[in-house]
Structure 1
Amino acid sequence: MYQRKIYFRDTDSAGVVYFCNLLSICHEAYEEYLANLKVNLKDFFSNQLIAIPIIHAEIDFFKPLFCGDLINITLNLILINEKVFEIEYHVFKDNDLVAKALTKHICINPQTRKTQEIPLIIKQSFDT
């Protein structure tokens, strides 16, 4: 679980969290998840042989989030095939589900741009 406070910079002119900012916060939760797997984030995100770009993202809000709110994000990784996985994010405030997001990732070789298998350290962490 990833915990974070909502900051003023996360909100729009109406004072609520802007949708793309919550997706960015979900990505923070993914980075924290990788760090907890003992993945060296600097090496992971600058790797010349493996890249895992997001190929689809979606988000649904059920309640607004405001500056100062404390949220908890849970992640569920789902293996689609040997090269593709999804991450479901559940965003809670005071134990209430306030948003759900999903990102779909594909593993590629950044030099050739061809798909390849997901690294073992990530594959081992999937909920199957």
Structure 2
Amino acid sequence: MYQRTIYFADTDSAGVVYFSNLLSICHEAYEDFLSNLNINLPDFFSNKLIAIPIIHAEIDFFKPLFCGDIISINLEATLINEKVFEIQYQVLKNNELIAKALTRHICINPQTRKTQEIPPIIKQSFET
């Protein structure tokens, strides 16, 4: 579970979290997930042989979030095939579901831009 405070910069002119900012916060939870797999993030994101871009993202809000709110994000990673996985995020405030998000990722070789298999260290996380 990833915890985070909502900051003023996360909100729009109405004082509510802007949708793309919550997707960005979900990405922070994804980075935390990778760190918990003992993946060195600077090496991971600058790797010349493997990149895992997001190919789809969606988010649904059920209630607004405001500056000062403390949220928790639970995520569940699911292997779609040997090259694609998705992450489902549940955004909670005081154990109440506030939003759901989903990101779908594909593994590629960043030099050739061709798809390739997901690295074993990430694939192993789907088995736990």
- What are structure 2's unaligned runs of at least 5 residues? none
Cα contact 1:78–1:127 (8 A) shared by 2: no
* Identical residues among aligned pairs (%): 80
Report the TM-score when normalising by structure 2: 0.99
Deviation at 1:127, TM superposition (A): 5.2
The equivalent residue for 2:17 is 17
The equivalent residue for 1:86 is 86
What CA distance in whole angstroms lies between the structure 2 residues aligned with 1:17 and 1:127? Answer: 34
SS in 2 for 1:122: helix
> What is the CA deviation profile of residues 23-82 of structure 1, one whole-angstrom value per residue up to 9, with x for unaligned ones?
000000000010011000000000000000000000000000000000000010000000
The equivalent residue for 2:97 is 97
Question: Size of the alignment, in residue pairs?
Answer: 128
Report the TM-score when normalising by structure 1: 0.99
- CA RMSD, Structure 1 to Structure 2 (Å): 0.8
Matched, 1:125 2:125: yes
What CA distance in whole angstroms lies between the structure 2 residues aligned with 1:74 and 1:86? Answer: 14
Matched, 1:55 2:86: no
Deviation at 1:97, TM superposition (A): 0.2
SS in 2 for 1:124: helix
What CA distance in whole angstroms lies between the structure 2 residues aligned with 1:16 and 1:85? Answer: 30
Cα contact 1:2–1:73 (8 A) shared by 2: yes
What CA distance in whole angstroms lies between the structure 1 residues aligned with 2:77 and 2:95? Answer: 21
> What amino acid maps onto 2:52 in structure 1?
I
> What amino acid maps onto 2:26 in structure 1?
C
Which stretches of structure 1, 4 residues or more, deviate above 4 A after TM superposition? Answer: none
The equivalent residue for 2:65 is 65
SS in 1 for 2:125: coil
> What amino acid maps onto 1:89 in structure 2?
Y
What CA distance in whole angstroms lies between the structure 2 residues aligned with 1:76 and 1:100? Answer: 11
Matched, 1:44 2:38: no
What CA distance in whole angstroms lies between the structure 2 residues aligned with 1:36 and 1:118? Answer: 17
